[in-house]
Structure 1
Amino acid sequence: MSLWDKRDDMVVHEREPFNAEPPPAALAGRTTPLDTFYSRNHGEIPDIDPAAWRLTVDGLVEQPLELSLAELRERFEEVEAAVTLQCAGNRRAGLIEVRDIPGEDPWGPGATSTARWCGVRLADVLAEAGPLPDAEHIAFGAPDVSRLAEPAQPYGGSITLAKARGAEVLLAWGMSGAPLSRVHGAPLRVVVPGWIGARSVKWLTRLTARREPSDNFFQTSAYRLLPAGDGPGPGGPGQDRPGTDGHADGIPLGPIALNCDVLSPRGGRRLPSGPTEIIGYALAGDDRTVARVDVSVDGGRHWVQADVDTAESPWVWQHWRTTADLPAGEVEITARAWDSTGAAQPESPVHLWNPKGYANNSWARVHVTCE
């Protein structure tokens, strides 16, 4: 095992803060082994004593709360759900190929993983606190301090109250049959299905009902989709342009964009020509499911429909597979997904490039050489 009990073949982008993704083969199952589940962090990983830990619920609520882990377990129904998390920077490497994105990790297709999460519904905790009529957002507070913000500040973010009241959003203390580990947010984290992983705040210590979204840097400035002509700036999106404070620039990221990738074969391999199994994953995001995946082995001139796993729920990925005849020579394998609304992935990363490298959901492309 390497750092944080992860496998030695993890692709480590940074050691401090620890940011790593699994090899593609680890993503082929319904759930991801804990030793290969991707890890995205913004600061030093805190070490919290579960016995001393408390969750504060405050802001625009009728009844503020302070709950220990034992009280959460005793007062609320325990639930379990399979959920796929995906980083907003998943597949950023494809955008970097279009144009460099300085200061951002070159995530491949592995900044996504699935676990069975155990905990309580956020909605149940909020119901006990009683959000007031003018509350529209739930902000999450945590103790991990990030120097990516200027000045440095603890990590945070928020989701709409409407989403927070969804039965799918969890406050989790368990992960695939094991206690939540320190690297994944112990003793308690938020799990927000269908939304970018940045909103599933780890090491949760506070829930605050607000009229407006969180004023934390990672809600107001980071994790926003800027126009391609805007530079990232030294302090985050918008910080390099006179007269702006970064708080209103770009599109705030919430629901995941429809995405898919090829897990096997991997790019750069030499393969025998002829029938070859092609497998991958797809994730629709929000409350949608994947309706279809098309695969091409001639650069998109001709397509076949892959077999797609039935969706266990809208909150988990779906794997797909097909067998195609690969001709001798250089071969481009291309995959594109369609969701349950009829929307499809865009063709090219060229038109998706943005200064932070978020939301690359262009067609997946893999190049192999066949003999």
Structure 2
Amino acid sequence: MLLLRRCHRLNPIGPLSIDRNQVAPVVASCAVRLCSSSNDQRFHQYGFSASWRHVLAGLLAGTGAVLAYGLHRHKAIEKSSPLPIISQEEVTRHRSLKDGVWVTYQGGVYDITEFVSIHPGGEKIMMAAGGAIEPFWSLYAVHNQEHVLEILSEYKIGELKAEDLKKQSTFKSSDPYSSDPERHPALRTNSLKPFNAEPPPEILADSYITPTAFFFKRNHLPVPQVDPDLYRLHVEGLPRGVLTLSLEELKTRFPKHTITATLQCAGNRRSEMNKTRQVKGLNWGFGAIGNATWSGAKLRDVLLAAGYGPDVAQWARHVQFEGLDKEITGSAYGASIPINKAVSEEGDVLLAYEMNGKDIPADHGFPIRVVVPGVVGTRNVKWLGKIVVSAQESSSHWQQKDYKGFAPGIDWDTVDYKSAPAIQELPVQSAITTPAEGSVIDRSEEMLTVKGYAWSGGGREVIRVDVSVDGGKTWKEAKLKSSDKEGDQTSPPLGRAWAWKLWEITVPLPPEAQELELICKAVDNSYNTQPDTFGPIWNVRGLLSNAWHRVKVKISEDDDEE
């Protein structure tokens, strides 16, 4: 298995998690490609001399079947073969890529050196180097899944010494998620710890304003407990020094503004992109989006009160936000937006303390969250604790090493996060919420009603939604709704279309069809439209997933015709 992993690193020809029936052809392909002289440098890098290249190629070409059988027997052999006993002292010596990276988990010792470079969470995995991973997994509980444990098992090299294991077992980790708020049971959960969930798709477009209980939840860390009386917001980086504001001061010193704005997770509709080729991330459906009314102080007003002016504008380029939710190291969740968006009169960036007319709930950032309309959800930092005006972007992991888009040809072996800008405005988007995939339509109804949502980032207004019931051969234009008021076609100010539009169309059922492929695509006022397929926009993290939304339904004959 180690040999196969090394060859995969030298010649990445697809996912390493392959079926045993695929091993022989994969190994044969690897053997051919190893003969290329272009691999000389990479051979030296991974510990193979150039003279071994053809020996390895012949070995691989002739033993594909043996490897296939070996993979089939891998788990049984692993369980029955004695593994060395390793002390905690020895594990602790392996805390770097140079010396190797070892960790322990439930009494096992694992050499994860080769996995570090492809870890989806980046270099944060090094925090556990030389020690137990349980304290970290209690915080990043998304790891507690079967497929993650299967990956870890491939790197097992020994068992921890009994006395060291006993010492480890005295560590009692309180669950950092135990004080998280209750959630509506109808939500479809993608991750329990941290909690991430979306509403049932069939109710998503029932109302223009998404009920707070059904608004999608996207948390990266445990929900912090904040006493509103003790809460303080710190504003830094401006000439007047640090401005510290209580919740009451935010509410009384600055005018209250209200906007209606849609927030969308960058991973919305990732599950569809996954079907094209596997990506890394939570398997969101099309419900990682919602529309709400938000009230609070304008960020612009707060920055002006803190000393922002023409002199600052000469050097400031970004406004950084830091949340009160923290990692096990004490580092807070963070993000940033361009300064022009933050201080613009038309930017409408809020320090929101109300959502849908009530105090903002714990899951959505109580007591204060940033609402940056038209911008990806991850920049709308919750539980806001600090604002910093700076010449640099936020240095946080979520700004620098996540939430960036890459070309379809980039994989985890070749990704370079410095090569791509952080996502800010999102592309045009739409989805069909009714009928659901796989629904059966009674032909006796004669007509079919299709509903959904549409939205575009950057304040661009959706001006049209095209709907097809025959797989894209013909198209009809849907009726758009700008509020819950019947017939409301009010247009927002140019460049400030922060909220989605709901849409609806009723069409006759085709007389001969037994199955329909429904498709929707939106067009914004810059005439941006959605791509027809996911292939050209595929990326390793499954972000910006906005190809045509397709739903297949069946038509049943009525009783008289059966």
Same-fold status (TM-score > 0.5)? yes
The one of 99, 112, 115 equivalent to 2:277 is 99
Q: Distance in 2 between matches of 1:357 and 1:153?
A: 26
The one of 249, 253, 263 equivalent to 2:419 is 249
User: In the alignment, which residue of structure 2 is the partner of 1:207?
Assistant: 387
Matched residue SS, 1:95:
helix
Q: Any conservation in 1 of the 2:261–2:292 contact (CA below 8 Å)?
A: yes
- Normalised by the size of structure 1, how large is the TM-score? 0.92
User: In the alignment, which residue of structure 2 is the partner of 1:236?
Assistant: none
User: In the alignment, which residue of structure 1 is the partner of 2:411?
Assistant: 231
Which one scores higher on RCO, CA 8 angstroms, separation ≥ 6? 1
Q: Distance in 1 between matches of 2:198 and 2:463?
A: 27
User: In the alignment, which residue of structure 2 is the partner of 1:137?
Assistant: 318
Q: Distance in 2 between matches of 1:175 and 1:343?
A: 30
Matched residue SS, 1:138:
strand
Q: Any conservation in 2 of the 1:158–1:219 contact (CA below 8 Å)?
A: yes
Residues 249-269 of structure 1: CA deviation (Å, up to 9, x unaligned):
323200011000001101111
Q: Which amino acid aligns with 1:183?
A: D
Q: Distance in 2 between matches of 1:264 and 1:308?
A: 15
Q: Any conservation in 1 of the 2:199–2:215 contact (CA below 8 Å)?
A: yes
Gaps in structure 1 of 5+ consecutive residues: 233-239
Q: Which amino acid aligns with 2:273?
A: L
Q: Any conservation in 2 of the 1:120–1:171 contact (CA below 8 Å)?
A: yes
Q: Any conservation in 1 of the 2:216–2:287 contact (CA below 8 Å)?
A: yes
1:361–1:252: structure 2 CA closer, same or farther, 3 Å change rule? Answer: same
User: In the alignment, which residue of structure 2 is the partner of 1:258?
Assistant: 428
Q: Any conservation in 2 of the 1:42–1:146 contact (CA below 8 Å)?
A: no
Q: Which amino acid aligns with 1:290?
A: V
Matched residue SS, 2:251:
helix
Task: State whether structure 2 residue 182 is matched by structure 1 residue 10.
Answer: no
User: Offset at 1:6?
Assistant: 3.0
Gaps in structure 2 of 5+ consecutive residues: 1-179, 482-488, 557-562
Task: State whether structure 2 residue 216 is matched by structure 1 residue 38.
Answer: yes
Q: Any conservation in 1 of the 2:202–2:435 contact (CA below 8 Å)?
A: no
Q: Distance in 2 between matches of 1:269 and 1:186?
A: 39
User: In the alignment, which residue of structure 2 is the partner of 1:279?
Assistant: 451
Q: Which amino acid aligns with 1:139?
A: Q
Q: Distance in 2 between matches of 1:31 and 1:262?
A: 17
1:205–1:9: structure 2 CA closer, same or farther, 3 Å change rule? Answer: same
Q: Any conservation in 2 of the 1:223–1:253 contact (CA below 8 Å)?
A: yes
User: Offset at 1:113?
Assistant: 0.6
Matched residue SS, 2:419:
coil
Question: What count of residue pairs does the alignment treat as equivalent?
Answer: 355
Matched residue SS, 1:369:
strand
The one of 287, 310, 329 equivalent to 1:110 is 287
Matched residue SS, 2:226:
coil
User: Offset at 1:145?
Assistant: 2.3
- Structure 1 runs (4+) deviating above 6 angstroms are none
User: In the alignment, which residue of structure 2 is the partner of 1:368?
Assistant: 553
Q: Any conservation in 2 of the 1:226–1:251 contact (CA below 8 Å)?
A: no
User: In the alignment, which residue of structure 2 is the partner of 1:306?
Assistant: 478
Q: Which structure has the greater CA radius of gyration?
A: 2
Q: Any conservation in 2 of the 1:224–1:249 contact (CA below 8 Å)?
A: no
Query: Greater share of helix residues, 1 or 2?
Result: 2
The one of 525, 531, 540 equivalent to 1:355 is 540
The one of 323, 347, 371 equivalent to 2:506 is 323
Q: Which amino acid aligns with 1:35?
A: A
Q: Which moved more, 1:23-32 or 1:43-52?
A: 23-32
User: Offset at 1:31?
Assistant: 0.5
The one of 362, 380, 385 equivalent to 1:182 is 362
Q: Any conservation in 2 of the 1:157–1:216 contact (CA below 8 Å)?
A: yes
Q: Which amino acid aligns with 2:533?
A: S
CA RMSD of aligned residues (A): 1.7
Q: Any conservation in 2 of the 1:289–1:311 contact (CA below 8 Å)?
A: no
Q: Distance in 1 between matches of 2:321 and 2:212?
A: 24
Q: Which amino acid aligns with 2:540?
A: P
User: In the alignment, which residue of structure 1 is the partner of 2:7?
Assistant: none
Q: Which moved more, 1:152-161 or 1:289-298?
A: 152-161
The one of 459, 465, 468 equivalent to 1:293 is 465
Query: How do residues 42-191 of structure 1 correspond to structure 2 at under 5 angstroms?
Result: 42-102=220-280, 104-131=281-308, 132=312, 133-146=314-327, 153-167=331-345, 168-191=348-371
Q: Distance in 2 between matches of 1:272 and 1:108?
A: 26
Query: How do residues 19-30 of structure 1 correspond to structure 2 at under 5 angstroms?
Result: 19-28=196-205, 29-30=207-208
Q: Any conservation in 2 of the 1:43–1:145 contact (CA below 8 Å)?
A: yes
Q: Any conservation in 2 of the 1:80–1:118 contact (CA below 8 Å)?
A: yes
Q: Distance in 1 between matches of 2:343 and 2:553?
A: 46
1:146–1:109: structure 2 CA closer, same or farther, 3 Å change rule? Answer: farther
- Normalised by the size of structure 2, how large is the TM-score? 0.61
Q: Distance in 1 between matches of 2:226 and 2:337?
A: 24
